[in-house]
Amino acid sequence: MDKHLKLNSYCVKGGKRNESTKAHQLPLYLSSSFVMEDSQEAVDIFTGQKKGHVYSRYGNPTIDTVANKIAYLEGYDLKGETYGFLTSSGMSAITTLMMSTLQSGDAVLTQGNLYGGSTELLKKILSRMGVDTIFTNLQDLDAVEGIIKENGNIRLLYFETPANPTMACIDIEAINIVASRYDVPTAIDNTFCTPYLQRPLSMGTDYVIHSTTKYLNGHGNSIAGAIITANYEASRKIWETLKLNGSTCNPFDAWLLSNGMKTLAIRIDKHSSNAQSIAEYLSQHDKVTHVNYNGLPDHQDHEIAKKQMSQFGGMLSFTVVGGQAEALATIDRLQYCTHAPTLGDVDTLVLHPATSSHLNVDHSIREKNGITDGMVRVSVGIEDVDDLIADFEQALGQL
């Protein structure tokens, strides 16, 4: 056919693809749509009689491969199948999940020490859709059961463990038992742990959320989110919501995520060991009043974390003597650590929650949940731990 094409037509349609051997790495499918072999195949795919890709908002080979990989990791302990979806960000994953499970008149039961963006989503956006949010201490299981009993509109129990940035932990298995008595689905943000440290589906959780931007990718070069469930019917609702709200991931970010995940295990091991050493160092420093790290035996949730996490992860926070001015001064004096509003990268990152991630959370809610003005959050990287400790030593030594 090519011999009979005019020059401009050949530019558009000509040329054979040289795909004689299989690519070693996951190919990057930068195509918005996919070719149907014939009309019948199109009918079969659109009606669900045959699997296939038609349009990248609906599904894409690169995106689906990575989503399925995360679903496999989260469902590693389960016998049945798990279903995963990649979204444009962690926040879009939370939004898509809530849009697929909630409607006007429903309520979400959650904790007061959520990531600030999650709290804002519930209070500023979901509330306008007629969805109420009830904040409570999810560690108090009797209180949780009492609230669910009294409010028949609760259709989702949403939580983080460890929480951002206090590292407070919720007993995943125990809270799922309570919620299941009243047929309330549960969803967890598992970003801090990844399935390498903690697999909530095996403890009875219905949905797992990730900001894959963080530890799953690990290199700070893509933004995406993930939703995972072991419930097929629920997965169909998620897919329908995702394809219609258009918050799907793009192939390039999925491809970068795939590359990052190759080193997930060795990265998390190093993150965890470094964080343990730094937490122990900070807990002995005379300019530090409190350290939040689950690997410290005196952390209030150490036993819960030890029960459900294989290691304690790379996140910690600490409070310096004084308040906000001293916390900011400490951050500004750090020379090796990076001041950046994210976490989970291979290099060590610090921020001040009260003026960044939790800026728009009411001061009273922050203080009640231990997110003080003097707190510094640290996402511990994989550098040599002696260099990291030396940096904190010189910064704190100037207070």
Q: Give yes or no for a contact between 89 and 225, defined as CB atoms under 8 angstroms apart.
A: yes
- Give the active site residue among 214, 270, 366, 377: 214
How far is it, in rounded angstroms, from Cα 251 to Cα 257? 10
How far is it, in rounded angstroms, from Cα 127 to Cα 131? 5
Length of the chain as a residue count? 399
How far is it, in rounded angstroms, from Cα 49 to Cα 387? 58
Q: Give yes or no for a contact between 163 and 315, defined as CB atoms under 8 angstroms apart.
A: no
CB atoms within 10 A of CB 237: 16
Q: Are strands 315-320 and 375-379 parallel, antiparallel or unpaired?
A: antiparallel
- CA-closest candidate to residue 271, choices 124, 382, 137, 388: 382
**Exposure class string for 155-173: b at 16+ Cβ within 10 A, else e:** bbbbbbbbbbbbbbbbbbe
Q: Give yes or no for a contact between 136 and 111, defined as CB atoms under 8 angstroms apart.
A: yes
- Give the active site residue among 83, 155, 171, 189: 189
How far is it, in rounded angstroms, from Cα 318 to Cα 161? 18
How far is it, in rounded angstroms, from Cα 94 to Cα 48? 27
**Residue 182 a catalytic site member:** no
Q: Give yes or no for a contact between 299 and 293, defined as CB atoms under 8 angstroms apart.
A: yes
How far is it, in rounded angstroms, from Cα 211 to Cα 220? 12
Residues 6+ apart with CB under 8 A from 323: 372, 373, 374
**Residue 115 a catalytic site member:** yes
**Residue 57 a catalytic site member:** yes
**Residue 83 a catalytic site member:** no
How far is it, in rounded angstroms, from Cα 357 to Cα 367? 14
- Give the active site residue among 10, 57, 237, 281: 57
Looking up tokens 């530019």, which residue turns up? Answer: 11
- Give the active site residue among 83, 115, 196, 207: 115
Active site residues: 57, 115, 189, 214
